[in-house]
Amino acid sequence: MRTVIAFVVGIATAAVVVGLGVLVVQNTQSEQLTFLGTTLLVDKGGVVAGGVALGFVLAVLLLLPGRLASAWHRARVHRQTQMLEQRLVALREEHARLHGGHQRLVEEHGLVLDRVLPSPRVSLPPQAGQTPQTSSLAADGVPSAAPAAATAAAAAQPTGALSR
């Protein structure tokens, strides 16, 4: 889009310059002008061309500070974007590293739980509120895995301090 606008502005500028040239060539009559007590003899076309040129220079000078400020702002935003992208890459790398460490800790936690919690084959002493009929021994004298598995599942639940 910028290229199209620049092209159109270029064509318009060329048309103005050509029109101004024709105006200067066709208006060669001399006029006497007085400015602050000084009398000048100038062509009418030259006065018009000088006015147009002065207007163009003033317009450029008035637009220049805004263009410079815009360019500096774009450069600053570009630098800030690059810094944020670099930081994002670093944070993603750190996230991957921490996620790998978290996975390792979860696996180690599982191993520790397997070592600390009693095996399902070992009978537990009856807890408070349990009657001898509801102990972990089955009717055939072999320890039952159900109470030990329930105890292990309850112990494996995350605590409030460790969960997010």
Residue 144 lies in a domain: no
Q: Per-residue pLDDT averaged across 34-59, rounded? A: 85
Task: Please report, for residues 89, 94, 156, the alpha-carbon distance to residue 103 in angstroms, rounded to integers and kept in the order given.
Answer: 21, 14, 16
> What's the pTM?
0.43
Place of tokens 């995350």: 158
At 126 the pLDDT is: 63
Residue 164 has pLDDT above 50, yes or no: no
Residue 85 lies in a domain: yes
- CA dist 67 and 140 (Å) reads 93
Range name among 1-15, 49-63, 128-142 with the lowest pLDDT average: 128-142
Residue 157 lies in a domain: no
Q: Mean pLDDT of all residues in the chain?
A: 79
Q: How many domains does the chain have?
A: 1
Place of tokens 């101004």: 20
Residue 50 has pLDDT above 80, yes or no: yes
- CA dist 41 and 31 (Å) reads 6
Whether residue 148 contacts residue 118, with contact meaning beta carbons closer than 8 Å, is answered with yes
Helix (H, G, I), strand (E, B) or coil at 1: coil
Residue 36 lies in a domain: yes
Q: Per-residue pLDDT averaged across 5-19, rounded? A: 89
Backbone angles phi, psi at 38, to 5 degrees: -105, 130
Computed on alpha carbons and rounded to an integer, the radius of gyration of the chain in Å comes to: 45
| Residue span of the structural domain in which 63 resides | 2-119
At 62 the pLDDT is: 92
At 160 the pLDDT is: 47
